[in-house]
Structures are given as C-alpha cells and as structure tokens.
Structure 1
Amino acid sequence: MQQPTQIPNSTPALVGQLLNQRKFFEQENSQVKHLDNTSISSNSTVYLRLCENMEYVVDCVCTKIMIEECKNLKLTVNDKIITSIIEVWKSDNVNLNLNSQVQTVQIDQCNNINLNYSNPNYFHSVVWAITTQLSFKIFENGQEKHIFNDGNDKQNLTSDNNTEEPSKDKHLNPEQYIVRLIDNQLVTEELVRAENWFPTTRREWGEWKAKVNANEERERQRRKEEAENKSKGNENDANVNNNNEEVN
C-alpha cells in the first residue's frame, strides 16, 4: 500500500467550492421526481433531507449526493457524480440503484439500506458505521454476480486475528467498516487510522509496514556489505604496501 500522493493546493479549494453549491430537496413526500439539467446544474450537490416515500431519478451530472434523515426513499443514478461519492445518514429504508460509477457510498446511523450496482465497474467500496440491515447486489449483464448481506453473511469479515467471528453487536459500535472486491470476493474490513490519520485497514497497514521494514533491512544489509567490502579493500591495500616494503 502506497502512502497518498500530495494533493495540489488548488484541488481542496475547487472541491470545496463545488460542494458548497448545494441543491436542497427538503420535506418532500409521496412523489416521483426526475432531476435533469433543467432542475440541477453539474456543479450542484444534490441534498435530499427529511423526505419520505419519495423516488428520485438523477439523469444528469452532479457533484455529489447526500441523503439525510429520509424514510422509504428510492434513488436511481443514471449519470456521472463528479466526486463519485454518495453519503447517507440517519435514514431508514433507502434503496439506491446505481447505473454510474460511485467510488464510495458512505452510510452512517442507518437501518435497512439496499444498493444495486448494474455493473461491477460501478462498484469500488461501501463504508459504514452504526448501521443495521445493509445489503447490496452487483450485477453483470443483468445477472447477480456478487451479493452482500450484513448481519447474515459474516464469512468475509476479517478480524484482528483472522480466526474469531465478530459478534453482531460490533456493528452497533462507532467502528467504521469498508467492503471492497478483493481477488473477486467481497471482503469486509474494519477501518483504522494510520499515521497522519490516513484511513486504512489493519491488513493494508501491516502489509505496508512489512514492506517498509523489508526495505530498511535490505538497506542495512547493503550498507553492511559496503562497509565489509571497503574494509577488505583497505586490508588488501595494506598487505600490498607491506609486501612492497619487504621487497625494497
């Protein structure tokens, strides 16, 4: 695992400017609403808040999608999300149909969240905390290829010693988890904060530390061999000088 590269100074300001341009849809009920370039601009963050029994279809580019305190909500995304992020928190019974790439779906303090990815290329990771009944499906050519059900299928959840099966209560704690495809298998791991609060997993952090230690050991060995070769060279030079003195 490589440490993150330096972000250009202009990037955070640009992202912040985009995220500040929010388009709110608040306290809407019992409607089907299509969002296109006549209702939102490409630099808008779509913010759904306190909506109930709603269905939204996003048919145009937007910056980000945020869902807060919604109930019985269905969202279909058919176009690009610039930041490739959807956030859902304090919501119940939310269904997301994703027909565009979403690098991260982040879910916090929710219940009964269902996601459907129409293509494996659209899935990268799902991050969640304090959430129950999370499930998603990844489709390929219309067929289910990967299925995840939190609370029912725990066989791919890694633990500190990789032997103990975590208890269901662990998902009610503030710990944060991430699900990704690793070697074509859905794997759940706990997120931890490494140096500089960089989010990673214990597995990746351990692999990175092992790589660093191996590189340091190789460097120590190289320096040792270099010193030994230099010492042998000095010894050979001394022997040559002694032999020359004896001849003289």
Structure 2
Amino acid sequence: MSSATKIMITALLSLGFVLGLITLLNYFKFESSLAALTDRRLAVIADNTQDSIEAAVNLGLNLQNLESAPAVLQRARAQDGRIEALHVFGADGRILYSTGTGAVGDAIDPAWLSAARQTGARSWRVSTDTALVTGRRLDSSFAQGIGGLALVYPVADGAMRVAAMRDDLIGAALLILLAFTLLGAVGTTLALRHVGRLFSGLTHAVEDTGSGASGSRIPPSLQAVAASLQTNLAQARDQLDDMEAILAAAGGPDRRPATGDAGAHGPVVRGVGAGE
C-alpha cells in the first residue's frame, strides 16, 4: 500500500468520525428543539383556550350550558392545523364539548383523567406512542376543578419531520465526505509526487557522486543541492582516504615494540599476586 493511500485512508476515517459526531449532535438537537417548540406552541393555545372558557364561567354561566365553548375550541384548533382534537370535559370525565365528530358524551381516556386529578398544578401532560395530550384544569370563581381541557396533538407529524431532517443530515455528511475524498486524493497525489521527485533526485545525486555522470537525470530545481552534496561527499571521501593512509603507515611491518613487552613468542603476560 502506497503512502498516498495510507494518508487518504487515515484522513477519511478521521473525517468520517467527526462528521458522524456532528450529524448525531445536530439530529438530537433538532429533535429536542422541535419537541420544545411544539410544547410551547401547544401550551400557548391551551392557556388561551382555558382563559376564554373560564372567563365565561366566571360570569356565572354553567360549564354544561356554555354555548360559546364550541366556537372557542374551533378557533383554538385553527391556530394549528396539526391539532387532532380539543375536548372540554366535566368533573366526571364526560366530554361536554369537542372538535371531534361524535365525541360529545364519551368518557375521556382514564389516563387523562388520572393525570388531571393527580397533579396539583393547573396543567398536566400525557404522552403516548401516537399522541401528545396537553391538559388544563378548569376553575371558576366558586370552585376548583369543575372540569378540564384536553388538547390532542399527534406525534406522527413530528416524527416525520425528524426523520426528514435525519436524512438531510446524512446526505450532507456523505456529500462532504465525497468532496473531501476527491479533493484530498488529487491534492495528496500532487503533493507526494513533488516529494517523490525530490527524494528521487537526491538518490540519483548520491549514486552519481564520483562516477562522472552528467547529472541529466536530476531535476533542474535540485541541481544546486546535488552539486553541494557531491562536493561534500567527495571531501568526506578524501578525508577518509587520508586517514586510512595514516593508519596504514602507523601500523606497518617496520613498527617495533617500544618496551620489549612483546617477544618472538607473543606478548608476555605478567601475573599479579603475592610473589611478584
């Protein structure tokens, strides 16, 4: 495997890891932001609807005989076309008014009624696999908990939007990775080609030193470097030859032992001990 291939694989793995992290972070950020935005929007609609109904009840009207309630619910639903239904129910859990067809008189989901009764606050929330229910407790000037309001919002639309954003993020990451692959391959090839030529020229310069070669194989940009390298190598070779000549002369056959510690039978080994 060439150096260019190794560099490209390392760069692509690093970029792929970074892009994967960025994609995941953006995906979860979009999902949480969309959920928070949906909750705030539904909370505003539910609060306004609650205030409108309670204002009529505080005038002394009975919740069961509130003629303006259907119109109030229809206006609230028109604020967001994705709202599935709005229900106003009594203290017994029976639906009094609804934007859904045929829902009046039915009992609300027991989970809704349980959440409305268990919480001490005026708002409650129930989330299922198919819908998000935002609820409000209805009070009057004379009593608390005379009924409740339930806003049903399907989660399928939000899931589709999150899935679409996920696909867009993955597509963008793949496009960036592909573009980097193409540009990086071209850039790495060009860069390593120049480095390869540089080392090739230096190798030729070393091989041609002292051989009398013309140096025509060396690129023009490396002629000066090659010439300096040849000169330095020639000087180093001459110095080595001089040192070898000096060492050969010093260790020649005319050399005699200075102190006679080496005789015809080899060196004399002196012992060290008590009887020396």
TM-score normalised over the length of structure 1: 0.28
Q: Which has the higher helix share?
A: 2
Structure number with greater Rg is 2
Higher strand share: 1
After TM superposition, the score normalised by the length of structure 2 is 0.26
Q: Which has the higher contact order (CA 8 A, sep 6+)?
A: 2
